[in-house]
């Protein structure tokens, strides 16, 4: 079987809605890439803060130990998540689980407990966002956050919006940028996997693929919110690229006889089937992407 594409970039986002990390390889876990959306900033009511309301989160950079992406790595007392933002002192958060449990944390439809990262982190984000905030970590020992069972029963995530993986192709980004007055980088769309070598938007129709030796299913096209309109370098928003995407990537254009006509789609949400035995596996830049089966048309894809 010939490869249809290859992995060009791997991204993960340790703190939901904050800046991502680009890595050459990343271990897979049952909730997606290890470390992906393991933390979230919450407001005084325990609700997740995102760039939709707090675009300044785009400027929050995070750093993990280099060894944190190795198979079998475990944190010790000198292992930290380092957090930086303009005008703020550096914040170090221990990767050893904090003892405090915070109840009433909610991300969209889900609510449960989380691990509170403490007063110093709370003050840092409160000062930065200008409103009472706390940094919490997903409570893996006590909580399970399932994805929508209508699309991918049996799968789960931490604080991701919906699904364990988001895949986009370089061809899709290039085609969009040819239509824009000012090209946008891939960080506007916050994918986990950027693949190259395939036709633009063909990833929309990937029903079943293998990346390296791991089996993935495309479960739902990604309907975009306002985040792609936020410049990830300065946190300023504009009408693009959504204004252009509406013209050729809306539900009205892609599947005019179905619901979701007002949505705009870019990227394909995916799940990986080879992660339920509890052992970690690795995906690397350069891994081949093999297409096993495809949807016949956009009318067959889930949106």
Q: Which domains does the chain have, with CATH numbers?
A: 5-14+148-294 (2.40.33), 23-144 (no CATH)
Query: CA 239, 244, 249, 253 torsion: positive or negative?
Result: positive
Concatenate the DSSP letters of all residues of 251-281 into one string. HHHH-TTSS-TT-BEEEEEEEESS-TTS--E
pLDDT single digits (tens) 195-237: 999 999 999 999 999 998 899 999 999 999 999 999 999 999 9
Which helix (H) or strand (E) is 119 found in, with range? helix 119-129
From CA 194, how far away is CA 141, in angstroms rounded? Answer: 31
Give pTM, 2 decimals: 0.96
pLDDT single digits (tens) 28-66: 988 999 999 999 999 999 999 999 999 999 999 999 999
């Amino acid at each position: 079987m010939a490869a249809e594409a290859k992995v060009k970039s791997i991204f993960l986002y340790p703190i939901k809605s904050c800046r991502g990390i680009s890595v050459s390889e990343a271990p897979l876990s049952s909730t997606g890439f290890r470390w992906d959306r393991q933390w979230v900033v919450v407001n005084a009511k325990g609700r997740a803060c995102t760039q939709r309301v707090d675009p300044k989160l785009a400027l929050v950079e995070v750093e993990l130990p280099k060894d944190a992406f190795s198979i079998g790595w475990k944190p010790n007392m000198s292992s930290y998540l380092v957090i930086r933002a303009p005008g703020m002192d550096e914040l170090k958060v221990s990767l050893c689980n904090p003892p405090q449990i915070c109840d009433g944390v909610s991300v969209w439809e889900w609510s449960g407990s989380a691990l509170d990262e403490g007063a110093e982190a709370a003050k840092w984000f409160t000062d930065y966002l200008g409103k009472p905030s706390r940094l919490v970590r997903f409570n893996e020992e006590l909580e399970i956050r399932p994805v929508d069972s209508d699309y991918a029963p049996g799968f789960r995530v931490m604080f991701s919006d919906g699904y364990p993986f988001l895949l986009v192709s370089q061809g899709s980004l290039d085609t969009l940028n040819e239509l824009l007055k000012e090209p946008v980088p891939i960080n506007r769309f916050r994918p986990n996997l950027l693949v190259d070598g395939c036709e633009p938007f063909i990833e929309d129709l990937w029903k079943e693929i293998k990346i390296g030796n791991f089996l993935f299913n495309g479960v739902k096209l990604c309907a975009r919110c306002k985040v792609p309109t936020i410049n990830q370098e300065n946190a300023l928003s504009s009408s693009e690229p959504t204004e252009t995407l509406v013209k050729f990537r809306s539900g009205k254009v892609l599947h005019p006889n179905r619901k979701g006509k007002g949505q705009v789609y870019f990227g394909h949400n995916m799940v990986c089937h080879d992660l339920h035995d509890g052992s970690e596996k690795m995906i690397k830049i350069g891994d081949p992407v093999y297409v096993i089966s495809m949807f016949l048309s956009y009318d067959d894809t889930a949106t």
